[in-house]
A = this chain, B = another copy of it.
Amino acid sequence: SPCNRAIKVSMSQNQSYWTCVTQKIEDQLKQLIPVRPPLLVYEPMHHLVFTARRTMAPALCVATCELVGGQQPISPNQALVVASALHLVQAALFTHEQLPLTDRPIPSNPETLTHHHAFAAGVELLTGDGILSFVYELLGRSDDPAGGNSERLLRVIIEIARAMGSEGMVDGQYRKMLCSVLGSEELCDVGWVDHVCEKKEGRLYACGAACGAILGGGSEEEIEKLRNYGLYVGKIHGLMLYYHNNRTGGEEKGFTDLVERCTSLALKELEGFNQGMVQTLSSLVRASFWDKC
């Protein structure tokens, strides 16, 4: 395909690598979540999956799979399925985060304020649950019929469930909610934003990077280094997003310092890996990358 060719011809054109991978994941998602009968179920699902905020966690999963040498015929496809699952988890939790609950305070987050609800709250709630169950059905089904890959797949399921759960993204959403309830400025300082971003975007990206490395057959050391890399990239992404949505002049220095610290910690984790791919991966933490997003 032209997409594959582009990757091979010029690995140094990092932006085009990410564009290609992102496009492949979109195609996979379109195939997985068609608009089909019953429309009452699949129309909201399709809408919520494709309007949810995109992250680079799915693409990171495909990239780390390639990095550790996932050249087996099965891995790239499976990495695309797992990458899609990562977006679906993010879409389901994002949908639940925007739900209008009777005792939820008026949101201080502009993202929530401007969020357009295409469906009734009850439909969006259930569609989120439907998407979550589809994630695990999808992962379970993605096992190679010839067998032999089940252990890796079970490990990926555990990784995704943990990243999503009460010590991961759900914890991040919980703390974000607490802050909007309490609304206290001392509480919602840089340290708090740091924590929320680590749990939300950080854990999602860390999970993506680790899952790719697991599927690609990476060593335990490679998996842990790439998990850490993902954690820092996700934190940076989360911090940029938060800063973009809540520009508060006074805090700027704190944010810049935090992003710089995460960037150098992230790059350290890539030492020792194959250089061509490292250049592509490390482009994710370069400022120029964010400008284009």
Q: Which of A9-17, A129-137, A184-192 contacts B (4 or more CB under 8 A)?
A: A129-137
A93 to B125 Cα, complex, angstroms: 10
Besides A126-B177, A130-B165, A150-B153, 6 more A-B contacts (Cβ < 8 Å) are: A100-B103, A129-B164, A133-B166, A134-B161, A140-B154, A140-B158
- Nearest-neighbour CB distance to chain B for A83, whole angstroms, equals 18
* Contact A164:B40 (CB < 8 A) given known A102-B102, A140-B154: no
Closest CB in chain B relative to A227 CB, distance in Å:
16
Q: Determine which residue in A99, A120, A166 has the highest number of CB atoms from chain B within 10 A of its CB, and name it.
A: A166
A34, chain B: closest CB distance, angstroms = 13
Interface-centre pick from A143, A153, A165, A177 (highest chain B CB count, 10 A)? A165
Residues on A lying within 8 angstroms of B by beta carbon are 40-42, 45, 92-93, 96, 99-104, 120-123, 125-130, 132-137, 139-141, 143, 147, 150-151, 153-155, 157-158, 160-162, 164-168, 170-171, 173-174, 177, 181
Contacts of A92 in B (CB 8 A): 129
| Residue in B closest to A128 when the chains form the complex, CB atoms | B129
Residues of B with C-beta under 8 A to A93: 129
Q: Which of A99, A129, A160 has the most CB of B within 10 A?
A: A129
Bound-state CA distance A128–B166 (Å) is 10
Evaluate contact between B150 and A154: CB separation under 8 angstroms.
Answer: yes
> B127, B129, B150, B174: which contacts A132 (Cβ < 8 A)?
B129
In the bound complex, what is the Cα–Cα distance between A132 and B96 (angstroms)?
13
Residues of B within 8 A of A135 (CB): 161
